[in-house]
Each structure stands twice: as structure tokens, then as C-alpha cells.
Structure 1
Amino acid sequence: MLVKLGVNSGFGAKSCIYMLASSAVLRRQQLVIRCLGVGGYSNHNINTNQKPMQGVGFSSGASLEADVENVLRAITPTLDPNRHKGQAGNIAVIGGCREYTGAPYFAAISALKIVSLINESISFSSQGADLSHVFCTRDAASVIKSYSPELIVHPILEESYSVRDEDKSFILEKVLGEVDKWMERFDCLVIGPGLGRDPFLLDCVSKIIKHARQSNVPIVIDGDGLFLITNCLDLVSGYHLAVLTPNVNEYKRLVQKVLSCEVNDEDAREQLLSLAKRIGGVTILRKGKADLISDGEIVESVSIYGSPRRCGGQGDILSGSVAVFLSWARQIVTDENLSISSRNPTMLGCIAGSTLMRKAASLAFENKKRSTLTTDIIECLGRSLQDICPVP
């Protein structure tokens, strides 16, 4: 269950209930608290077979589906016509090479598709992700640009075949210098979609990850970024603003590397909890029939919505979505002066991103059935968010 109040919440449970009606700000704070699995290990599963929650009382029989949608409502900002371009947030995707150009596009365009929708119960100083960047190799840049004019594409990455050994140090510094020009503007990085496994390219990305940590920029790692991380855990170990989004095979390799055992589906929650804790408090979103999420302190499960059609590219949509919601959730924590350690924005971002992705996939499947493609799911992102956070 996503609702858990504990001693770390900073509010007396009984007093908060009486205070809810007195202030819109307090109502919003209480909503955020309810959405965070604060206080320890959570065993609850979110599904579509439960009825909406009534009131603010919590019990073992309370609805869990309502909690998931409350996460989306709590962290989705309002539209504000007074805000200018870019003030709503910037997401950057690090990935894209000769062989793989679709994945970084899917992640970047998904971030743009998740537009801010009005929810009168909350008000934010930011509007959402309205700029999306892709840092890729030169070979991939023109292709990605042709997919969409909305993306800002930076053709700065290099693969080994195009760099002489004696020039690698110079090229590496040049790449880092270009990324450094933009780093402070980014609200989140998505690292790995379409990255490939070229050694020099991975070396460049390793340096970018280190720089993001120094700049305190959240990172979502997917695809070949997980291949890099699995072989160099120190890149994310202990970084609480890092999110890993492994699929079945990527999760298997992580478990074997970190826990020195095989995946145990019968004890999946405890194993995921141990894995996140062992890596150092990163948040792991294990993709599957039900998405399991843990930051090493609690475990949540999202199984609401979904589609039987498993077309390639859904993970890229998820990583882009999580990046947006993570940046919004982090802004909530900052604006409300709440403790990040007890109210983890990465958990909120994963829960919201997973829910929206699954709902969009279910809507796309209703329309296209077996012919559903990744692009069909992307087109359903706006409708999915509108259904949960409607604009009047």
C-alpha cells in the first residue's frame, strides 16, 4: 500500500486529520505523505480489482488503486500561462548510436508528451517538462532529428571506430565540456536508451554520470546504461537520486553481480529490497507483470492497468516518464520543506511513471490490439494523464 504514516512523517496522524480542512497547503502535504511508503517495508500490491478509497482513514482493507492515482495528482503541476519556455523543466537523454536511434527518441518524446494538467487542489512553481534534449553520436543525430523537430539533439558522443587512441583523452574532455554547459539546466538525466556498448562511448557516459552526481542531478538508468552500471556499481552506489529500471534479463544480471545468487520470484520483494540496499539506497524499478519498486527501505508494487502486448520500446517510454515525475516529485519535497530522506521523490517518480505508462499501454491496446506499437502508446500518454488529472 502506498499509504503509510510513521514517526518519520513529521506530523501527528490525529492532528493532521483535523487540520486537513483548514489549509490547501496542508491538504497537499498530507496527500504527499499518504503517497510515500514511509516507515518501513510495504507488502501491498496495487491492482484494478479494488474500490476507490473513502475518506482519509487507512486500514488493511483500504483501496490501493486510489493511492496510485493520488500520487499522480499530488505531483502533477498545474498549467501556468505566466511561465516561459524551459521554466517548466528540462529532461536530457544520454543515448543513441549507429544501431539504435529509436530508443532515445521514445524516451525523450515521452517526456514531452506528458504535459501538465490542471488540478485545482495543488499549485506549483514549475509547469512540467517542456524541453527535451538528446545527447547522442553524430551518426545517430540526423536520424533522431528527423523523427521530431521538438527535440534538441546534441551530436557530441563518439564511438571507438571514429577516434584514434592518441585523441581519446582530448575527445573525452571535449564531450564533458559540452555536457557541462547544460548540466545545471537539467532536472533529470535518462542514461542508456540506445547507448550501445562501445567501450569509449561507455567511458564517456561514466564520466557524465560522475558529473551528474557532483551536480546533484537525478538520473534514470535504463537499457545499455544498466550494462555499464552492472559492471561498475560504484557509479551509482550510495546515490539516492539514482533510479534503475531493469527488465527481466537486466535484473537477473544485477542480482547475480550484487547478491551472487539467482533471481528468486517466490521471495521477489525481499530480494529486491536487499538488492537496492546493497547497492546503496538507489531506487530500483523492476519491470514485469507487476512493477516492483524499492529504495532499500520499502517495497511497492504497481499492477494497475497494463497490456498483454509487449512491444519493444515500452521501457524507453517508462524511463522518460519516470524522469519527468521524479523531477516534479523532487520539486514538491523542496517546495514544502519536507525531508527527502523520509519522503523519497524517486519512489514517487517511479510509482507515477509506472502507473501512467501502464494506463497508456492499456488504452493503446484497446484501440490497436495485437498491432499495438510503441508509438501508439506514446500517443495515449496525454489522454491517460487527462483521465487521472483532468483539465477543466
Structure 2
Amino acid sequence: MRAIDRNAMALGISAEILMENAGRALAECIRDKIREIRENSAAHAADSASAAGTPPKILVLCGGGNNGGDGFVCARILALAESDAAAKVSVIYPKSAAERYTPESRKNLDRILEIQSIGVYAAETDADVRELSRLFDEATLIADCILGTGAGAGRKLREPLNRMVESANTSAAFVVSADTPTPYMRSDFTAAFHREKIIASTASDAPFSPGNIRVCDIGIPAAAELFTGPGDIAVIPKKENAAHKSAGGRVLIIGGCQEYQGAPYLAALAALRAGADIVQVATFTPPASEFSMQYPDLIVENLPYDPDIGGYLSPIHEERLKQLIGLADSVVIGCGLGTRSHETVRRLAAYAKKAVIDADALRLPLPLPLPQSIPCGPTFSREVIFTPHLGEFRRISGTEINAAADSKSTKSTTEALCERATAARDFIAAVNKAANAADAAGELNAVILRKGAVDVISDGESVRFNRTGTPAMTKGGTGDLLAGLCGALLCRMPAFDAASAAAYILGKCGEAVAEKYGDGLLASDLLPEIARVMKESE
């Protein structure tokens, strides 16, 4: 949801507007629930006062993030409603959060502090919340605006948030959660903003339960979810302060041949710029030794030269590559590989848990080189990103896409987007069919990133489009950069999210470089831009 919010802001919907809309939607849900409680007061003994016609008492529990800001807006709207819908509103928020609220949340906190009819309480400790126990005891309804979608299911709550949740759970009040329940909150109803959120579990021992759910429109345009944007970068996991070497992931690039010696190095350097900590290139000698001196940031595996096949990967390299694959968090296969290495690649791909299949590896006949059962190895969920251009896509899927319909001039038409979406789903269907035919072990999570004037990303169900980029990016080597980006992000994110972010990042890099060089840009010109684009969108 954070990515969608950020993308909506990039489309002109400000954070303040989104917070106002969310708070209003929550207030409307609460009004509806209050009406239901009044009509059926016997079901909620705590509401005998409201049933008798006195204003209901609503307690809004706010956390330190934007969910708390939504709660401040909700409290203001409920307190300032017309007399027949007015409520007695109280708000509790963590005192320590006052100095770290976002500008939008701080602004809305200041607004309710100026409204005399709202009781606003800053709690710092467990004891502070206990002293406010009467608010929980007297509440007709409690609004849970403590933590939103950024909270993990098993997150341990700190004080005073933990005491807020415990007090709400022991109260007789009806509990309405904003967007998603705070962990361990006993929620009766959830007002989900924009779309329903995935709740990890609804079992009796789950850390939270959403109760009944209503999806509320808060003004997020469909394009914020359909198209990639800066939000896709903002959700890339950041390294923790105590991060150690390799925390950003270890990527193995398998590629290169005597005709295309530089391709794997472009992919490897892109992976480093995208945040991977260790990137290893496995290619044949003699080029490997030369490039290892030119790029000291990379680890280069000098594969022996096979006189029987020349400067290509061959069966004599397999045992060593299996070892390297076992050490890698993700493997990028295909950059500059050449067509004479296909049988070797087919066997090696079975050992990669996470893989990016690119370029020459996509020329293999079906079944594609999908991860299959590992001899004497475990069965696990595998993630694979396929990055075909239009020609490779046609060959694998058997689907024809009009090249003219793939141009920038038609990228916004509904018909063209639907055509691309359908074709992308068909591609994944072909991949899954091949995987099943090959008796692949475990579950295969395949994602396509079909490169074009408008990139298409799909996992067979969800489809997204990337509109960033420039015609100048038709230069050789840009596809290798994309594969490396995917490999780096795949270490830290699900395949669908990694492919979406990678496409957006590379397109923005191309736009920036084209401003300076136009059609004369080189793929290597984009490398320094990768880190800049990612940093600016954090």
C-alpha cells in the first residue's frame, strides 16, 4: 500500500489529501456502526447511553505513523459533525511520536488540539494509559488507528501501544480498525483503504483479526496501481544499521561468450549499483582475467577454455557453476551467453532457487530452462523472472503483438493495454505448462517482464505497466542492465515487485541520460544513474 500511496502522490494526489480522504472514510464507517449499535443496543451493552439518545463516546487510538494521522482527521470530523451526528470524542496518542510525525500527521494533530470538545491525551508509558482506563470503559466505539500496513503480523508492540491494544481488547466497546488491524487487536470491523489487505491468518491464535471488512475509496487513481512509479522504489527493503556484508544479497551472473564479452559485466555492475553486496561473474577465459582487473568491485570466476566448443559455456564448467549457484541468492542467466551453451544452461538452471532468465537463455526451445528437482535436494518455492523483448516473447508464447500497437503513441489506449495484459498472462501460462511437463519440484513463481516501449510485468494474475524510458534505450546492453537490476532486487523482494521496480528504475535512468546524450547514449552511461534514481525515490 505504501507503494501505491507514493505513486498516487507522483500523479498529483498529495499526502494531505490522501490522509483527509482516509480519515473521512473511516469517520463514515464509524457513523454507520454507531447507527447500527443504536438500533441494536441489546447486542452491545456498553451502548445503552447512545441508545437513549445521548452522544456516543468514541475513543480514537493513534500511533506514530500516518495511520495515526488518519485517526486525527477522523476525530476532527466526528467531533465537528452536525448536532444529530455529533459524538464525544477522545484521542490517545504516543507522546514520543509528536516530534517525528510526518508534516501531514502533525498538522492534523495540531488541528484537534485546537478543538475544545475533543479530549486529547499524550501517553508515554503503560501507566499513562492505565490512568485513562475510564475512556476505554465508557467508550461506545474504539477506533484503532495505531499501526497500519507497515506493521508486520508478528511485530512486538512497545509501550504505550501495547497497553492501548490490551485495554481495547478488554473493553466492551465495538472496535473499528483503520486500513488493517494493529497486531494483536481484537477488531470487529475494518475500514480498508483503496483495497482489502491480505491478512496473514484469521485463526484464533492469529496476531490480529480484521472482523468484517469494508473497502473504502480514498481517491487513489487506478493508474497508481496499474503503472509503476517511485513508490515501487520506496518499498525496496533498506539495510538495517547492523547489516553485515552480503546483507544486500549475493548475485551470480552466468553469461558471456567470445562474441559478447561485455554483456555479463554490464549486468553485474548494474546489480552492484542496485544494492547487491556481492556480485560474481562466471565466464570463460581469457576475457575474464582482463575484466577482473578493469572492474575490481566484481568477483570474476575464470572458467577454463574448452577447446572442443571454444569460448562458450560447456559441460566441463557445470560442477563449478553448481557450487557457485548454491552460494548465490539469485542467478542471472543469459547475458551474452551465445547459442552454443544452451544444453549446459538447461542443466544448470535446475539448481537456481531464484533466477533471471534473459537474452540468449530465452532462445531455448520449450520446455524452458526452469528450475527442476535438485538431486538429493529439498523441494522449495522458486522464483523466476523472464525478460524477453518482443521477438523472444513471440517465439515463446506464440502470441503476435502488433509492433505499432507497442509504440509510445498508443501506450495509453485501453485496447492496447488489454492486449498486452492478455499476452503476458498467456506467456506465464506457457511457462507453467512447460514446468508441469518437466515435473518440476516445488512451486514455481514465474514472472514476465516483457520489454518494449511500454514494459509489461505479470505473474499470470496481476499485470502492471511501465511507461518510463526513451527510444534511445534501444542500444545494445540496456537489456543486460535490466537483467542485473532484476537479479539484485530479487535478492530482497518478491519477483513481481522486483521486476516492477527494475523496469521503472532503468527507464528513469534512460530518460536522465538521454537528456544529455540523446540517441548517442551508451548502456554504460546509465550505470551511475541507477544509484541516483533509487536514492532520490527513497
Q: How does the TM-score come out when normalised to structure 1?
A: 0.70
Superposed displacement of residue 205, structure 1: 1.7
Q: Which runs of 4+ in 1 moved over 6 A?
A: 33-39
Match of 2:508 among 356, 359, 363: 359
Aligned partners of 1:236 and 1:282 also within 8 Å: no
CA separation of 1:158/1:196 partners in 2, compared to 1, >3 Å: closer, same or farther?
farther
Superposed displacement of residue 326, structure 1: 1.7
Whichever residue aligns with residue 397 of structure 2, its letter is: V
Between the aligned partners of 1:192 and 1:159, the Cα distance in structure 2 is: 19
RMSD: 3.7
CA separation of 1:226/1:18 partners in 2, compared to 1, >3 Å: closer, same or farther?
farther
Aligned partners of 1:97 and 1:140 also within 8 Å: no
Between the aligned partners of 1:104 and 1:297, the Cα distance in structure 2 is: 31
Question: Equivalent residue of 2:328, what SS?
Answer: coil
Between the aligned partners of 2:470 and 2:230, the Cα distance in structure 1 is: 18
The answer for the alignment partner of 2:286 in structure 1 is 139
Residue 207 of structure 1 pairs with residue 347 of structure 2: yes
Aligned partners of 2:333 and 2:355 also within 8 Å: yes
Deviates more, 1:241-250 or 1:67-76: 67-76
The answer for the alignment partner of 2:370 in structure 1 is 235
The answer for the alignment partner of 1:323 in structure 2 is 487
CA separation of 1:98/1:189 partners in 2, compared to 1, >3 Å: closer, same or farther?
same
Between the aligned partners of 1:318 and 1:234, the Cα distance in structure 2 is: 20
Between the aligned partners of 1:24 and 1:146, the Cα distance in structure 2 is: 50
Superposed displacement of residue 220, structure 1: 0.3
Deviates more, 1:136-145 or 1:305-314: 136-145
Question: Equivalent residue of 2:243, what SS?
Answer: coil
Between the aligned partners of 1:286 and 1:275, the Cα distance in structure 2 is: 10
Runs of 5+ unmatched residues, structure 1: 5-12, 40-54, 116-128, 330-344
Could you say which structure has the larger radius of gyration?
2
Which residues in structure 2 correspond to 1:257-276 (within 5 Å)? 261-263=399-401, 266=416, 267-276=419-428
Residue 178 of structure 1 pairs with residue 315 of structure 2: no
Question: Equivalent residue of 1:362, what SS?
Answer: helix
Match of 2:361 among 225, 235, 257: 225
Aligned length: 316
The answer for the alignment partner of 1:51 in structure 2 is none
Whichever residue aligns with residue 427 of structure 2, its letter is: L
**Larger RCO (CA within 8 A; separation ≥ 6):** 1
Which residues in structure 2 correspond to 1:152-167 (within 5 Å)? 152-156=299-303, 161-162=308-309
Residue 255 of structure 1 pairs with residue 378 of structure 2: no
Aligned partners of 2:466 and 2:503 also within 8 Å: yes
Match of 1:69 among 226, 230, 245: 230
CA separation of 1:98/1:355 partners in 2, compared to 1, >3 Å: closer, same or farther?
same
Which residues in structure 2 correspond to 1:259-338 (within 5 Å)? 261-263=399-401, 266=416, 267-280=419-432, 282-303=446-467, 305-309=468-472, 310-329=474-493
Question: Equivalent residue of 1:288, what SS?
Answer: coil
The answer for the alignment partner of 1:386 in structure 2 is 535
Between the aligned partners of 1:251 and 1:361, the Cα distance in structure 2 is: 23
Superposed displacement of residue 188, structure 1: 0.6
Superposed displacement of residue 211, structure 1: 1.6
Whose strand proportion is higher, 1 or 2?
A: 2
Runs of 5+ unmatched residues, structure 2: 6-24, 30-60, 69-144, 153-178, 181-191, 199-215, 374-380, 406-415, 433-444
The answer for the alignment partner of 2:50 in structure 1 is none
CA separation of 1:58/1:179 partners in 2, compared to 1, >3 Å: closer, same or farther?
farther
The answer for the alignment partner of 1:78 in structure 2 is 239
Between the aligned partners of 1:358 and 1:276, the Cα distance in structure 2 is: 23
Aligned partners of 1:106 and 1:313 also within 8 Å: yes
The answer for the alignment partner of 2:499 in structure 1 is 350
Q: C-alpha deviations, 1:89-122, integer Å up to 9, x for none?
A: 100101011111111000001011123xxxxxxx
Residue 150 of structure 1 pairs with residue 290 of structure 2: no
Aligned partners of 1:37 and 1:298 also within 8 Å: no
Taking every aligned residue pair, what percent have the same amino acid on both sides?
Answer: 26
CA separation of 1:346/1:35 partners in 2, compared to 1, >3 Å: closer, same or farther?
farther
The answer for the alignment partner of 1:369 in structure 2 is 518
Deviates more, 1:56-65 or 1:89-98: 56-65
Between the aligned partners of 1:86 and 1:135, the Cα distance in structure 2 is: 18
Superposed displacement of residue 37, structure 1: 11
Question: Equivalent residue of 1:235, what SS?
Answer: coil
Question: Equivalent residue of 1:142, what SS?
Answer: helix
